[in-house]
Amino acid sequence: MSLTRIEILGPILVSVALLAIWQCAYWLIGDIALRSPGQTVRFAGELLSRPTFWPHLVETAKAFVAALAIASLLGLTIGLLLGLGKTAGDVFEPMLIALYSIPKVTLYPILLLSFGLGLSAKIAFGALHGFIPVALFTMNAARNVRPIFLKTGRVMKLSRWDVVRKIVFPAALPEIFTGLRVGFSLTMIGTVLGEMFASQRGLGYLLMNAIGLHHVDVIMAVTLMLVLFAAVISFALLAIDRHLHKRF
């Protein structure tokens, strides 16, 4: 894959422009509500060296990893079931899409009441966000597997499980990966969002707590960390995604 000069230089220039806007905004507004990019990075480094910060980071990481695992497994299972069963797919697809487009935050109190205030409610909320794209992409991918592959499987008298494992899954892999990539982002959004409401630990809690204390440093540093983490991982996943789609 060869990139042209503009494809490399362009995004770098845009990043520089964004930093410049941030710096100018800081000069305009001042210390009351903003920090400069330099100050924010320095404070983020300082936060990372504080022992009191790590429990929050670990809490968010734990919730996120568990939610991602549940979202992936649940999404794959539902997606394969709905993709291979035609009627089931037709019945449930609009419901999944509806669930995708409603403000799911409002469902969070229900999860809090069912799971209690703590890690499991956050995990459930993250998974609730993440499983939908995984299921939708997997379902469409399983539906679009070329019929000749499935016929070959039937001719070879493969069991249903073997058909899924050896034919549907490999054939649908690029699409499934796209679903997992989107699921990754949404799980992270869900986990952080859950922490921002009624939580006692985690990065989302730190953000909300800092509003009351007017800790602009904390808000900017934590926001920067979250945005950078999400952007870098999603960028890497996007590269793998494009590679997979090109190969098939």
Partner 1 sequence: MKPIFLLRLLVIAGFIGFVEALCRIGIIDNFTMPPPSRIAADLARALASGKFNGPIRATLLNAALAFCLAVTVGITAAVVIHRLAALRTSLDPFFATYYAVPVLAFYPLLIILFGLGSAPKVIIAFMLGVVAVIVNTLNGLDRVPRVLLKSARMARMGWFATATQITLPSAAPFVLTGVKFAVAYALIGIIGSEFIMSTDGIGFEIAFAYNNFDNATMYPLIVLVMIISIIVNMLLSIWEKQLLERRGLR
Residues near partner 1 (CB under 8 A) are 4, 6-7, 9-11, 13-14, 29, 33-34, 87, 90-92, 94-95, 98, 101-110, 112-114, 182, 184-185, 188-189, 192-193, 196-198, 204, 207-208, 210-211, 214, 216, 219-220, 222-223, 226-227, 230-231, 233-235, 238
> 149 or 197: whose CB is closer to partner 1?
197
Distance in Å, CB of 168 to partner 1, minimum: 23
Distance in Å, CB of 120 to partner 1, minimum: 14
> 145 or 210: whose CB is closer to partner 1?
210
> 158 or 208: whose CB is closer to partner 1?
208
> 25 or 156: whose CB is closer to partner 1?
25
Q: Do residues 189 and 63 make contact, with C-beta atoms less than 8 angstroms apart?
A: no
Q: 156-191: b or e for each residue (b if 16 or more CB lie within 10 Å)?
A: eebeeeebbeebbbebbebbbbbbbbbbbbbbbbbb
Distance in Å, CB of 166 to partner 1, minimum: 31
Q: Do residues 238 and 181 make contact, with C-beta atoms less than 8 angstroms apart?
A: yes
Distance in Å, CB of 152 to partner 1, minimum: 30
Distance in Å, CB of 208 to partner 1, minimum: 6
**What is the C-alpha to C-alpha distance for residues 25 and 101, in angstroms, rounded to an integer?**
34
Tokens at 175, concatenated: 């699409």
Distance of CA 141 to the CA centre of its chain: 20
Q: Which residues contact 167 (CB under 8 A, 6 or more apart)?
A: 145, 149, 150, 152, 153, 158
> 3 or 148: whose CB is closer to partner 1?
3
Distance in Å, CB of 69 to partner 1, minimum: 18
> 164 or 207: whose CB is closer to partner 1?
207
DSSP string, 95-147: HHHHHHHS-GGGGHHHHHHHH-SSHHHHHHHHHHHHHHHHHHHHHHHHHTS-H
Question: What DSSP state is assigned to residue 74?
Answer: H
- Please identify which residue in the block is written with the tokens 């890690």: 119
